[in-house]
Each structure stands twice: as C-alpha cells, then as structure tokens.
Structure 1
C-alpha cells in the first residue's frame, strides 16, 4: 500500500497533533501514522520571495513527514485573504452579499495552487495517494495533472457546496467546477451538498450523474460521495471528565452561583449566526422574566481572519449587541451574556461543555459543525445537557436527539431554550443516548477510513 499524501491550506505542527489541535488534524494525523506519508501545505507564515521559493521545510515525526512552505505577501493577499476568503467562503455559505470578486485575486488563487502543486511533485512517489482538503485548493488536482501526475487524487470539502444559482455569482464558476472534476473522488459533508454539485453537473455542465454517484463531465470521469466528518466521542468524554475538577471549571461554577449555563463556542464568523443567537437569548429574558438573573450565556468566539474587513465588522456588531443586551438586563451581581473574544485550549472547552445545561449551536450555514458533536460527547451521561442545534448545520441530520431550530426565527430559538431549560432528566438522558449512538456509529475514524478506502478503490487513470 502506497503512502498517504495529505494536502491542506494549513498544516498542523507536530506539537499540535499531540493534543491541542482540532478533530480534523487528529484524524488526518492518525491516517498518516497508519499508512506513513507526508502532510504538505502552507506553514501559516508570510515570508520573503527568497524564502518562499526555497524548498519546503521538512520535519519528520515517526512515519510522518511535515512539509511546509511560506507565502509571500502578494500570494497571501490574493490567494488566501482574497479569493479564498473574500469570494469562496461567503458564497459557499450563501452570503453573496458579503462576497467580492477581483480578477487579480482569482489569478493569484490559481497561481498559488499551481505553485504548491509544483512543489509537491518533487515529494511524490508513483504509488502515493493524495488527499486534498477544502476550498482553498479546488484547482490543485488540475495543477497536478498539468505536471503529469497520474496518482489517485481525492478532495474533501469541509464547507457547504452551494446551489447552482448561488455559485453563479462567482464569474469563473465553470472553471472551478471543471477543476473539481480533475479529482478522482469528491467528498461532501451532506447529501444536500452532493446533490447541489450533481445539479450543477447535469443542468449547467452538460454532464451526467449515474445512480451510483459517478460523474462524467468536462471529459473526465470521477466519483462522488457523502462522508460525514465526526469526532472520537469516548475520548472527548474521558477528557471532559478528567478536566472537570480543574480550577477554570471550579471558578466558573463559583461565579455562576447556581445559575443555569448556556455554552456557545464558535470562530468569530458571520456564518455562525452569532448576532441572531444573542437576539434569541434576549427574547428568552424578555418573554420569560423568571429566567432573568437565573441563566447565563457564555459565548466564546476566538478571532479569525482579523485582517479581513468583514470580520472586523461582525466583531463590532457582536460586541455592540452584547453590550446592549447586558445593559438592559444586567444587575449588580448578574451579567446575562459573557462574551469572550479569545482562544481556549480544546480540552478546557470540553470540560466547560460538561458543566453547561445547554449547548447553543446555531449557524446560518455550516458544513458539519464539530462543536455540536463535541458538546454531546462531553456531557455527563447521568445528568446531560441539551443541544439546541440549527437545521442548517450538517450535524442536524445525525443528532436527532437535539432540539432543532431555524436560526432566522428568534422566537423559535427562544422557545427551544425554554424547553431545554425545563426538560426532565429522563428526557435529557434519552436524547443524549440517541445522539451518542449516532456519534459512535460515524466517528472520525469511520469518516477517514471510508474516504480513503473509496479513494484507493478508484482504478488508476479512470478519470482520464
């Protein structure tokens, strides 16, 4: 069996893979350790032209090789900050109103993909299989094919794939879909995403889709599939329990003084429905006076892409809403919303989840949303909290024990919070058991192994 080559925009450091990284990094590193291989991508550093065009920085960790390159300021601005995050991210999350398109940024996006592909070719062996991750690298297989690479190449999209009428707002949309067709296997988080891609192929690319999800378009043959990314629930449960007596948890419990706790953790991003969530919590305090002074919402929102103007605006709006609501309902000894714009260690978050009565996860659009799954896994099965979850999170299709809400309906979310806060223990336990069974059935290892099994089963050269 050949080596596994993982390609992602950012590469986790060897230190991060040993505990502080998120679920994706843990799952990918596990596959690399099993098969042996290379993890290739951007180091996260912006460097000079001289440094960028030197060879990749190589670090060995057992059977895994970490190979990273830096980006020049121009490449960072055009490829990452520009087309990836100012065009693709908003459009793929159905926020065309926040997207911009600049031809030079798109040219930079394709140029960097071609440059990265060229760097990787020097590290490849004939029987390697290549697993490419996410929207930053849509043209990557096409660039590798142009270099003469014939290895199996798979792609997994971690964010939603939008309906055709949405993706049409990106002028070179057909070039992007054609680039996707250069992969041998395309993986999506949900059936809805896969169907949106199939819809584009059949209605707009003059292609065909067979009953077994094989696609023929742009002179290529490829396979598509749905692979629901998961977590390792029992590992999370063990860690959450181990950390629950640490000082940060004891401090939180003391400060709550017996109040109920609603926990939310998201990157600071407009796709997460943060403002809508604050307004739903305000409705709870407005419509249920008995909860004033008796329930606290803790919103942890680490900053992200802080040099992108849209993200600066969402931070300002969120801080304004938190201040307004707190000004309206605070008392001398009570602050309804604790809004923390900072990063926390992953296992510290799991222990905080375990202490909360409600997990409030309400994205406007999301590929999967692992926070929802982590919240469930972190709960004490004897006294579990309730997950209030957006119907627009990919996880909603699996976590049927949750209270599902529409994040555009503030009163509906308020009513779900009321139901969760007063839910009897037996019902909470039943819902938790249902959700945990789903997490164990499709854990992170199942996601990883099923994708790689399907990629390895693709005959070499099938797509040509």
Structure 2
C-alpha cells in the first residue's frame, strides 16, 4: 500500500465496464468475478480502494434480476481489484438490445473508426446515436447516485476519522469514447444538488483532426460533453491540439493553443497530454519468472494485437512476405509469431478480416515453408500473461505497426520484458501514440510495404551494441513513466494529488481582450462599409436576473452604445423578447431601433412602428391562457409575464426537483391553447403560430433601413444568448459575424463564435469603437494628402487636398491655409503625420513641366 498513488479525495471511476467481469458458474448458476487485465485497472483500482471510492460500470453480463448482488472476490484473489468490495461497485444495468445498439452500433460502428481516422468504415445511424445518448444518461444517473452516496458517507467518516481523504472534494473520473456525453449531466445534477466535485475525462484512443471529426453528425454534442469536465486528458500533444482546434472551429470557443485551454460555459477547461504507462515492475517480474516457451534457434519476430482493422495486420503480413522475397538469407532463420486476440466475432467486417488473414498466412506459408520450417506461426486466441511475458522476453523483434492507435501498450510491455542480453529491437508505427514517445525504437510506416520490409531487415541485422543502447534508453524511460506516474500526472492536473504538487501550466484563461477580436473581425468589418449592430438585451447587454425588472444594463455598456450610435457609419438595433416599450425603457437610448416580442413589434428611430399582424382569435386566447397558467402552474416561485402578444412562464425560482413536471404541464397547456412553446432561460414562451421570429425581423430591419441590396453594402454583427437568437443567426449565416453568449453547459449554436458572459460583449463593443476611431483617423490622414502648385509667373502656392476615396482634388483657400502650411513645412523637417506627404509641382503656362 505504500507505493499506491494517493488522492486527496475519494475517487469515483466511471468506465464502460467494471474492473472485473461477472460470469455465471455453469454448474451452480452463481455469479463469479473474473479479473480484468489492463493498466487502467492495475493503477486505478488500488486508489479507489484506498480513498474509499466507488467504481461505476457495466458488469459484462445482462442480469435479469436488477437486485441480484455482486459477489465479493475470492480469498485467493491477488489481483488489484481483490480489495474492491461489492458495496463499492455501482453496476449500470442496460437492456440487451439497447446495449447492443449503443456499443456495437454507435461506439464501435461510428466513433471507433472515425476517431481512428477511417471514415470509410464508419456507419451513421440516428437510432444508434439515440441509444448512445440514453446509455450515457444511465451512466450519469448512476454516477450521480454514487456521488450522493459518497457525500453521505463523508459525513460519517469525517466524524470518526481525522485522516480520511473523504474530507476533500471527490474526484469523478470518466473514461473513454463510450462515455463522452455523461459529464454534462453529472455536472448539472451535482450543481442542482449543491454537491462539490471535480470532473475529469481521459480518452484512451486517438482524437482525430478537424477534417475527420467534422464528419460526425453529433460532433457538437460530443465536444460539449467532454468539455463538461474540468480536465480532458489525451495520450499525446497531437490529440490535444486536434481537440482544441475542433472546439474552436466547431463550437466557436475561445481557446489558448499555447497553454491548451478552452473556454466553455463560463469555465476554463484544461486539456493535457498524459501518456499512459504500464505496471513496469510487474512485467519485469513476469518475465523473470516465466518459463521458456520458444524452443527454437530461429529469431522470433513477434506481433501481439487484437484482431481489428486498425492494427494493420494485413499490411504487416505483406511486409513480411516481401522481406522473405528480397532477403532469402532470412529463410529458415526467422519466424513471425503473430498472436491475434479475437474481437467482435459476431460482426461480419471482423469475420471477413479474419478470413483474409487466414488466407494470407496460408499463402505465405505455402510459398516459403520447408520440411523443417514454416515462416509464420499464427495464434488466434487469448494468451495468458505469463506466456505472453515469455514471448516478449525471447523475441528478437517486436512489430507494433498499427494504421492508427491511441498509445498501444504492447510496445511498452515488450520493452519491460526485455531482460535478456543482448536485447531485441522494437519497431513502432508513427501513427501510434507510442511512436511519438519511444524515440529509440525504429519507425515504420505500415502503409509503405517496401519500407516496412527494409526496417524489419535492419532490425534483424542490427549490431548488439546498438540494440543494447536503444533498449537501455527505452527501458529507463518506461520504468520512470510507468502507469503510476500516469495516474500521478492526472491527479496533479486535477489538483488532487496528495504530494501537494500543482499543475505548473496556466489553468485559467485570461478575460476576453480587445485583441481577441482582431483576427475574426478586422478584415470582415473593414474600413469601407457601414456597420449594423443587432443585439439582444437580456443575457447579452444586461446580465440575467431573477426577475426581468432587475436585469439592468450596466452604465458602461449603455455609454458605449450611446457613443456608437453617434457614429454616422453605425446602425444599432436591440432585438429582444421583451415588450418593445419595455426594452426601450430598459435601454433608454434615443436614435436606435428597438424590436420587441422577438420582432413582432419594431420601433424605428423616427418614431414609426411596425406590428406584425396577429390573428384575432389569438388575442382572446392570450387572456384565457394567462388565467389558466396562473391558476394551475404558478406556484412555488413560478409566475407568468404578460407581454401583450406573448406570454412567458418563468420558473427560475422554482425548486429544481419539481421543475420537470411543472414545465411539462405548462408546455402542454400552451400547445393545447394553440400557441408555440419556446424554451428560454428557465422560462417557457407562449408564441402565436405566425411565420415570424428574430431572423425574419432582422432581415426586415436591414431591408427597411438599407434597401433591398443591403447585403452588398453593410457589415453585420449579431450577438445573442438565447435559443430565439438562433433564428437570427441562422437567417444571417454567411452574411454576418455572429456571437452566442453561452454560460450554460450544453448549448448548440449556429453562431461562429461564443462569448462567456456580458462582460465579453462589452469588450466586443469596445473593439468596435476602437476600430471606428482608427477608421476615422485613417480617413482624416488620407484626406490631408496635399499637392502644392506653383505658377511660373508668380509665387502663389495653392494647396490641393486629395481624397483617395473620391479621387478628386479640392483646392483650399490660399489666404486661410497657405501660410499655415508654408510655415509648418518650413519649420518641421518632417510632415506632421507619417501618412501626409507634401509634393511640389511647378507649372508653366498652364501646363505641367517634367518633374525632373
């Protein structure tokens, strides 16, 4: 226990499977635990046990009786999970058909090939995605049960033990691509229950680049689900960069690429490269104690892989065949021992892969076999770790050549078991995470068969001193960066490691600055076009409040809007869900346009007003619906706001536990009355069924103000924070710079960029003001470009002002500006501004002389 990495708080591990598999004894029918191998279980299970934590996962079997107890480990069990009591295990039970659709359909049919950059093998199905969402919700619910249980246990433990880790904030650690959505539901539920927690996520497979990831129809949900955590971990930097890039390009998040930070939902999410290791000492012990299983003098080229199309097994066999063809000196001297662990045997694609491998092995063996030797020994099945360690130890070469892989621990296990002298040689693919870390291994591109055969030949002929040197470096690094070190680094990133170490990289993004808008807006806004600012009010200009009357626009924001309204090239419209008179009263600025009730009412600066026609019957229905809502659902803090044409049912002050039923009833009443029920911030809006929204209103405002050809002459910035603003962002897509103020955990938006809060909106407005001032300065500077003309017959000098935009020369009055310009030029060796150049041109009899 002394070597266990300690966490400052209890740990809840959430993984697709429990750290052991449940199986039934064929004789008694009783459930039994079967140990699961793997670095995750080896490293994390002792920490869960030591911190009095819990493990949430699927038990590996579909139980008919949900109350059937999980058995304890056997007394003879010495695996890392032996001390994990059944009471510390939370089993997620899922219907067999639903689980198949989730696991085989979405996880392995869609996400697995896409994340491994093989889109041609991916299948997209809305049905399997819905199953994925539902199962993730089930995992989140069970995780929340575990967190509540742990929170209750903490009180008891705190009263009986002063050294318990439970006194610290518990850590929820979610694992892998099966559960990318769960974090957001856990976060929302924990915050509603006022439970403290930390959320971490680790992806054990690659994260693809943007051009691949964007193919996933639900990429938005996956990114926001992962961003529900405080720390998102990957194996290598490349995966981190891909993730940060996708967050910016798909979600419009503000990111810090240098420090690997993403701003989302008003939080800073830390993205960290945390390469996983193996239990190095354990594999060394296995290698030392394993009996010899290879009784041949031939050199063994070893391959150990799960039978999967990402592992490049077909390419490997082709490279080995080419090796024997090109270098006959290896005939009867080397043997390829390929171990293929069965996987997804019920899937036709994997059945076809096995058949192809069987045929290739038979073909190569048939071509090169001699009476005393076969070039390939092919084992299709599972191999025990003792036997596997012996294979690792005695192999001359290990081939780890996947087409794409997250890390591939086979490479690390081989290195740990290389205790013989002289050691063997490791060959890795650059497309595995191990290829980025294990620099002393030989790199081999599996797609280039000729190159791969040459690398294998080089490994077989490598001198002993070079083999020893390379392996010594590899072993030293893997021993230092073992699985415990991986766990320690993750806990350090989470701020949950006992040693007191903290993440040395920045953990919080700096507030939005003016310069953050330069790359996005500078070229778009430009200097030649008018600018239209279309702005929502609540949650955009004014922070959200518990009551609409308390949502007051900050004085600084109001002042800058007033200044912007005075620019001749700026047009401002406030488009709100409030009543038009109310939003004008709340903003209180003259000379701008106000649109209320999501554009049903529009008040122009000249006092003219547009009101969208409303069916007469709905005017009466509004009164009836208002009374019904007040009588039936206005309780425990809920109330209805009458906006004239619209009604808004507010439930922000209602207790969280009664909201779902209350909201469902309110929506039903609204729909039964013939209105549309629109979701807002802790509110439901009852809108008449007319073809009009903020999008249609925005287009109407722009057309009314600037004419039918407005899109050619106007630059537009739209900023909003609500689902109703999505209508405008969709209508203006491609024609405007759009921003969504998103402070909640999951917000799907068509906006090009996200802003964390109303302070960031203020910064955006400040950027606009700065840009306009610079625009005016450039215009003033260019307008003072002057040309001086001197008559050959006199000394009269006339200064000509040249406006490059108009292309005309305008003479200034000689008695007002000539002397000043003459004096200024004579006393200053340089022009007053670097942009101003004074050019003298002599004239002769009305014609220009040559400048020379």
* TM-score computed with the length of structure 2 as normaliser: 0.51
Correspondence for 1:195: 241
Shift of 1:164: 1.0
Question: Any conservation in 2 of the 1:110–1:139 contact (CA below 8 Å)?
Answer: yes
Correspondence for 1:11: 18
Question: Any conservation in 2 of the 1:201–1:217 contact (CA below 8 Å)?
Answer: no
Task: Pick the structure with greater CA Rg.
Answer: 2
Shift of 1:382: 2.2
Shift of 1:14: 8.6
Q: Relative to structure 2, which stretch is displaced further, 69-78 or 276-285?
A: 69-78
Question: Any conservation in 2 of the 1:154–1:183 contact (CA below 8 Å)?
Answer: yes
Correspondence for 1:223: 270
Question: Any conservation in 1 of the 2:92–2:138 contact (CA below 8 Å)?
Answer: no
The two structures, once aligned, show a CA RMSD in angstroms of: 2.3
Question: Any conservation in 2 of the 1:58–1:67 contact (CA below 8 Å)?
Answer: no
**SS of corresponding position for 1:339:** strand
Relative distance call for 1:336 and 1:35 in structure 2 (3 A) is same
Correspondence for 2:638: none
Q: Distance in 2 between matches of 1:386 and 1:119?
A: 46
User: 224, 237, 260: which one pairs with 2:284?
Assistant: 237
Q: Distance in 2 between matches of 1:76 and 1:35?
A: 31
Relative distance call for 1:171 and 1:218 in structure 2 (3 A) is farther
In structure 2, list runs of 5 or more residues that go unmatched: 1-7, 23-31, 74-81, 152-168, 497-502, 508-742, 746-852
Q: Distance in 2 between matches of 1:19 and 1:442?
A: 25
Q: Relative to structure 2, which stretch is displaced further, 214-223 or 180-189?
A: 214-223
Relative distance call for 1:281 and 1:463 in structure 2 (3 A) is farther
Q: Distance in 1 between matches of 2:140 and 2:326?
A: 56
Q: Could you say which structure has the greater relative contact order, defined with CA pairs below 8 angstroms and 6 or more residues apart?
A: 1
Question: Any conservation in 2 of the 1:398–1:438 contact (CA below 8 Å)?
Answer: no
User: 104, 111, 117: which one pairs with 2:127?
Assistant: 104
Correspondence for 2:250: 204
Relative distance call for 1:160 and 1:106 in structure 2 (3 A) is same
Q: Distance in 2 between matches of 1:267 and 1:240?
A: 21
Correspondence for 1:312: 351
Whichever structure has more helix as a proportion of its residues is 1
Correspondence for 1:130: 172
**SS of corresponding position for 2:178:** helix
User: Any residues of structure 2 matched to 1:388-399 within 5 Å, and which?
Assistant: 388-399=427-438
Question: Any conservation in 2 of the 1:222–1:463 contact (CA below 8 Å)?
Answer: no
- Cα deviation digits, residues 382-419 of structure 1 (max 9, x gap): 22100011111111122112111101011111111111
Q: Relative to structure 2, which stretch is displaced further, 7-16 or 409-418?
A: 7-16
Shift of 1:47: 3.8
Question: Any conservation in 1 of the 2:368–2:375 contact (CA below 8 Å)?
Answer: yes
Relative distance call for 1:151 and 1:55 in structure 2 (3 A) is farther
Q: Distance in 2 between matches of 1:179 and 1:350?
A: 39
Q: Distance in 2 between matches of 1:259 and 1:20?
A: 33
Correspondence for 1:294: 333
Correspondence for 1:345: 384
Q: Relative to structure 2, which stretch is displaced further, 427-436 or 5-14?
A: 5-14
Q: Distance in 1 between matches of 2:436 and 2:311?
A: 18
Q: Relative to structure 2, which stretch is displaced further, 337-346 or 214-223?
A: 214-223
Q: Relative to structure 2, which stretch is displaced further, 204-213 or 153-162?
A: 204-213
Q: Distance in 1 between matches of 2:205 and 2:288?
A: 31
Correspondence for 1:38: 54
Matching of residue 116 in structure 1 with residue 139 in structure 2 = yes
Q: Distance in 1 between matches of 2:380 and 2:373?
A: 20
Q: Relative to structure 2, which stretch is displaced further, 206-215 or 163-172?
A: 206-215
Correspondence for 2:83: 62
User: Any residues of structure 2 matched to 1:359-374 within 5 Å, and which?
Assistant: 359-374=398-413
Q: Distance in 1 between matches of 2:139 and 2:361?
A: 42
Shift of 1:359: 0.5
Matching of residue 145 in structure 1 with residue 207 in structure 2 = no
Question: Any conservation in 1 of the 2:33–2:72 contact (CA below 8 Å)?
Answer: no
Question: Any conservation in 1 of the 2:265–2:744 contact (CA below 8 Å)?
Answer: no
